[in-house]
Amino acid sequence: MPRFVPQGTHTALVTPMRDDDARSVDLSALRALVDHQIAGGVDGLVACGTTGEASTLDGDEFEAVVATVVAQAAGRVPVIAGVGSNSTTKTVETTRNANRLGVDGVLVVTPYYNKPTQAGLLAHFRAVADASTSPVVLYNVPGRTGVNLLPATVAELARHPNIAALKEAAGSLEQIQETVRLTEFAFPVLSGEDALCVPTYSVGGRGVISVVSNVAPARTSALWRDQSGGRRDEAARGQVALLPLIKALFSEPNPQPCKMALHLLGLMAPVARMPLITATDATRAVLERELRALGLLG
């Protein structure tokens, strides 16, 4: 098995932008966000994933964000960097850059837009895993990429010594169960859907890469700790209690609402980088209501 195997609650960090039409990354706010997450009890951090608006960051910004998260975490929790693209060559290059910056693992999304076959996905992920000096976490999110990494393909990739886990965001509990079945509970499957955290845990999932934990790290972390500690009723109640906030955080394209929620908590400006925009006043009002309902605001 790879030396780092992710388990528990990992936050898919937003990338704070300065309040000037998001033209520059706010590294000071990013450091504060890292500390906020660790204080909330999360088990790991993911920099430059989908929630981190990685597709709009240039190479220098990517390196600055990853280096800042690694330095601020300072070994307190592991750091994973999102490195995927629709080009295998570019993904390998970005993976090597992330490894050089000291990450504990890399998150590799299925190549988007070009819709590879399952055989193409096998070749892509094996090439990245062969090139990486840190373990690879597969990332399946067909709603964004247009291609679904099927359970049989995951089971084949799980045999690779440098592939550590799967972030599953297909939105199908049946698909999660099939992956767990084919890998015989031996390969960590992480929920990529906040609304499916506890259901995923209940069928053998080992954790989550979460958006809502940006805003509610302690409550999100408690879901895994309660479930894995045998307090299943508490985990279920915690999942249900978070659902209105989760729905609000995905009422507009992610991470627009998440950034607004973090702004309401005083952690950063609410701006996203175009083509994303700042969340609407209507979404702000809903977020404020749900944050207050959970005791997170005021």
Rounded distance between C-alpha atoms, residue 232 and residue 234, angstroms: 5
Rounded distance between C-alpha atoms, residue 93 and residue 88, angstroms: 9
109 DSSP β-pair partners? 139
Residue 29 CA to chain centroid, in angstroms? 19
Beta carbons within 8 Å of 259's beta carbon, 6+ residues apart: 14, 16, 268, 269, 270, 271, 272, 278, 279
189 DSSP β-pair partners? 166
Rounded distance between C-alpha atoms, residue 201 and residue 221, angstroms: 13
Rounded distance between C-alpha atoms, residue 124 and residue 234, angstroms: 40
| Active-site annotation, residues | 139, 167
* Cβ proximity of 79 and 257 under 8 Å: no
Rounded distance between C-alpha atoms, residue 38 and residue 80, angstroms: 14
